[in-house]
Amino acid sequence: MTRFWRRGPVADRGTPPAKTAPKLPFDVAQAPPMLAEIIDHVEEGALLLIGTEVRWLNPAARLMFPDIEHPVGRPLVEVVRDHRIDGLALRARESGLEHAAEVELPRTDRILQIRAVPSQDGALILLARDVTRLRYLETVRQQFVANLSHEIRTPLAGLDLAAQTLSAQLPAEGDTRLFIDRITQETQRLADIVFNLNQLAALDAERIEVERLPFSVVDLVGALIDRFQARAVAGRLVLRAETSADGATAIGDRAKTDQALQNIVDNALKFTGVGEVVVTAGVDRDRVEVTVRDTGPGIPSRDLSRIFERFYKVDRSRGGLPGSGLGLSIARHLVELQGGTIVAESSGGSGTIVRVRLPRDPLTSP
Ligand SMILES: Nc1ncnc2c1ncn2[C@@H]1O[C@H](COP(=O)(O)OP(=O)(O)O)[C@@H](O)[C@H]1O
Ligand SMILES: [Mg+2]
């Protein structure tokens, strides 16, 4: 990387660096003026450290850490007044690897994203980005979704009740019944979307508690298969389990794992026209693994990494198949909350495998 640090007009010339400190690995006065202008005006704060000492900083960094009038030549912890940032710099220096963290500064109410990047010359570059507004907007969005889905729930329940009451009074056949039943179905679809949105809002706000208890994934998969069997039969699909007999025991939240797997099996049954859906459960070193494999259309590779985003559907124009695109994003949240991972694999056109891995109960691990 080209270095173009310079001593700008705001640089602290009053405090000479300590005599024992190594020299800067470049001549700060030699930076091309245009580059120096740029670095003086970027919004990202930049500090250059040698050892623990701040040797240079740009105006943005001065605004972020305004406590000390003459920061050059002072230890980082005195300049930023935060031990987490100091610790981050220390870890980056000791490991020689870039470290990053988000830090909320209580005194200024700012949220900073900090990156500590070691340079080859033994110096350390600290970059700070103010993400306060971004985080605020995220909170506003989350609250908006939470409030909206909460408000919609009551009228929706009223609509559903009215449609069901009318339906009960109508003869078994006829146009009116057809439309009333349609209203009931669509209301149910809307209620599902609202339920999912509500759950995502709760997950975003970290209002959901997670258990950490041992549970058998083989039992869980068995129960799951039983629950979906009737639907598979109705869709002329084979739904079966392939579980190893060694009693794979996960450590986590059974109900949340169940819900995540329900969303995955629901997809497998929904998107598979002919063939089978196989759910496996087994162990892989310190993890238990559940996979859901289907013989459906598969997922194009360009979409694979995106299907876990909220509202993402591979081909909206395909239409027909109901769903809001929230199922997998909820599944991912639920699995990651437990320290697990979820990935999808597919080689276009030949089915999909969704793989969920969870921490294994140490008492049953070898
Ligand atoms: N087993 C699967 N086979 C093919 N496509 C799938 C499968 N699972 C998920 N997808 C794709 O990923 C998208 C996101 O899934 P999901 O979040 O559950 O949304 P939804 O089921 O509401 O459409 C689906 O719309 C579909 O395009
Ligand atoms: Mg789904």
What does the pLDDT look like over 144-189, one tens digit per residue? 888 888 899 899 999 999 999 998 888 888 888 889 988 998 998 8
Same fold, 28-130 and 134-204: no
Ligand 1 probe mutation, 267, 278, 279, 305, most atoms within 8 A of CB: 267
Alpha carbon of 271 to ligand 2 centroid (Å) = 9
The CATH code belonging to domain 28-130 is: 3.30.450.20
What pLDDT, on a 0 to 100 scale, did the predictor assign at position 170?
85
Judging by beta carbons within 10 Å of its beta carbon (0-12, 13-18, 19+), is residue 326 exposed, middle or buried? buried
Q: What are the residue ranges spanned by the domains of the chain? A: 28-130, 134-204, 213-359
* Spatial distance between the Cα atoms of 195 and 191, rounded to a whole number of angstroms: 6
Cα maximum dimension of the chain: 96
pLDDT < 50 positions in the chain? 1-22
Instruction: Give the residue whose CA is nearest to atom 12 of ligand 1.
Output: 307
* Spatial distance between the Cα atoms of 211 and 299, rounded to a whole number of angstroms: 33
Q: Which ligand is nearest to the CA of 307?
A: 1
Q: Are 310 and 198 in contact (CB under 8 A)?
A: no
DSSP-derived secondary structure letter, 345: E
Judging by beta carbons within 10 Å of its beta carbon (0-12, 13-18, 19+), is residue 8 exposed, middle or buried? middle
Ligand 1 probe mutation, 313, 316, 354, most atoms within 8 A of CB: 313
What pLDDT, on a 0 to 100 scale, did the predictor assign at position 329?
94
* Spatial distance between the Cα atoms of 281 and 336, rounded to a whole number of angstroms: 18
Distances (CA, A) of 101 to 19, 46, 55, 127: 32, 15, 22, 11
DSSP-derived secondary structure letter, 360: B
Indicate the fold that domain 213-359 takes in CATH: Heat Shock Protein 90 (3.30.565)
Instruction: Write out pLDDT tens, residues 93-102.
Output: 999 999 999 9
Site of tokens 């500064």: 105
The residues lining ligand 1, judged by C-beta closer than 6 Å to any ligand atom, are 263, 267-268, 271, 294, 296-297, 299, 307, 312-314, 323-329, 352
Q: Which CATH class is domain 134-204?
A: mainly alpha
What pLDDT, on a 0 to 100 scale, did the predictor assign at position 158?
93
